[in-house]
Amino acid sequence: RAGVPYSVITRNPDGASELEGRGAPVLIADYMRAGLLRDLNVASARALVIVDDDTEMTERTVSVVRSVAPELRLITRATSPEGFQGLQSLGAQHILTAPREVAAGILDLLTPPEVTRADITRHLAEHPPVTLNATQRAQCEHAAHNAGPVTPEADVCLECVAQGDTWVHLRVCMTCGHVGCCDSSRNKHATAHARRQDHPVIRSAEPGETWAYCYEHQWTK
Ligand SMILES: [Zn+2]
Ligand SMILES: [Zn+2]
Ligand SMILES: [Zn+2]
């Protein structure tokens, strides 16, 4: 969204097809193979962001990348103090912790100079995290466990934008923050996401609206 060119390497076909649906350039490959990283000339990138949830996988990837591109700026994510130290000793320069810090930190390091930190702060303030209220949380176990807070990933339907289409209303997934178009829209991307990812609870992403819905239990509150 900041206009920074990027590409994604993932080993997960489901994740790849979801990203491709949103217009992201994706390569399905094993990024722990040094030969692949060399063929991709990863050393010429401005930075490499490693966002695996698994600390051990992250550490292995950092080691392989370091053997191919010793100077490359590495941005990684740690989920524990031990993980932080491990990544530091392997030579990762930028180790982020909370998900929000990861997003803000990646933007900080990669955005072009014309996008200022103030722009990003303003954007985050205009798009605060959303949660379900107590009444909604009490509706079903899905709502209780997917109550947020999530930060809506966009204020457009990225999948519609990617295919040059329009939408009627926007919905936000309370499990992951995905934003998709409603069932009155031609593409029904919110429902497609809920079914594909098994993320049953959505909330309206329209300004001023707070109602939520569970696809499994089919309540609206
Ligand atoms: Zn439910
Ligand atoms: Zn859509
Ligand atoms: Zn989701």
| 181-196 residue pLDDT tens | 999 999 999 999 999 9
Q: Please tell me the class of the 8-119 domain.
A: alpha beta
Extended beta strands in 51-199, E state: 74-77, 94-96, 170-173, 179-181
What b/e readout covers 53-71, taking b as 16+ CB neighbours within 10 angstroms?
Answer: eebeebbebbebbeebbee
- Residue 214: per-residue pLDDT: 97
pLDDT of residue 100 exceeding 80, the answer is: no
Tokens of 48: 């490499």
Look up tokens 């939520």; give the residue. 212
Ligand 1 centroid to 193 CA: how many Å? 16
- Indicate whether 212 pLDDT > 90: yes
**CATH 3.30.40.10 domain range(s) in the chain:** 129-214
* Residues 21-49 pLDDT 10s: 878 889 998 888 999 999 999 999 988 88
Distance 185 CA to ligand 1 centre (A): 23
- CATH node for 129-214: 3.30.40.10
Which are the contacts of 185, defined by CB distance < 8 A and separation ≥ 6? Answer: 157, 160, 166, 167, 168, 169
pLDDT at 104 > cutoff 80: no
Distance from the alpha carbon of residue 89 to the mean position of ligand 2, in angstroms: 43
Task: Look at residue 220 in the predicted model and tell me its pLDDT.
Answer: 96
| The pLDDT value given to residue 183 | 96
Ligand nearest to the CA of 201: 1
Q: Which residue has the higher pLDDT, 108 or 96?
A: 96
Around ion ligand 1, residues with a beta carbon closer than 5 Å are 140, 142, 214, 216-217
Question: Among all ligands shown, which has an atom nearest to the Cα of 164?
Answer: 2
Amino acid at 186: R
Q: Is the pLDDT of residue 111 over 80?
A: no
What is the CA(52)–ligand 2 centre distance, in A?
A: 27
* Residue that the structure tokens 């919110």 belong to: 190
- Looking at the chain, the number of H-run helices and the number of E-run strands are 10, 9
* Of residues 165 and 115, more confidently modeled: 165
The answer to whether 139 and 217 are in contact (CB under 8 A) is yes
Q: Which two tokens stand for residue 33?
A: 């193979």
Q: How far apart are CA 151 and CA 174, in angstroms?
A: 9
Say whether 153 sits in a helix, a strand or coil. coil
Query: What distance in Å separates the CA atoms of residue 187 and residue 20, rounded to the nearest whole number?
Result: 16
Chain region(s) in the chain for CATH 3.40.50.720: 8-119
Cα–Cα distance, 90 to 57 (Å, whole number): 13
Cβ atoms within 10 Å of 182's Cβ, excluding its own: 20
Please give the Cα distance from 200 to 143 (Å, whole number).
8
Tokens standing for residue 51: 């966002």
CA of 131 to the centre of ligand 2 (A): 22
Lowest-confidence pick of 123-132, 155-164, 166-175: 123-132
For the chain, report the end-to-end CA distance as a whole number of angstroms.
32
Q: How far is the CA of 205 from the centre of ligand 1 (A)?
A: 19
- Half-sphere exposure for 65 (CA within 13 Å, toward CB): 27
Mapping DSSP to helix (H, G, I), strand (E, B) and coil, where does residue 45 land? coil
Beta carbons of 157 and 185 less than 8 angstroms apart: yes
108 vs 4, more confident: 4
Per-residue confidence band for 101, with pLDDT thresholds at 50, 70 and 90:
low
Specify the pLDDT at position 69: 92
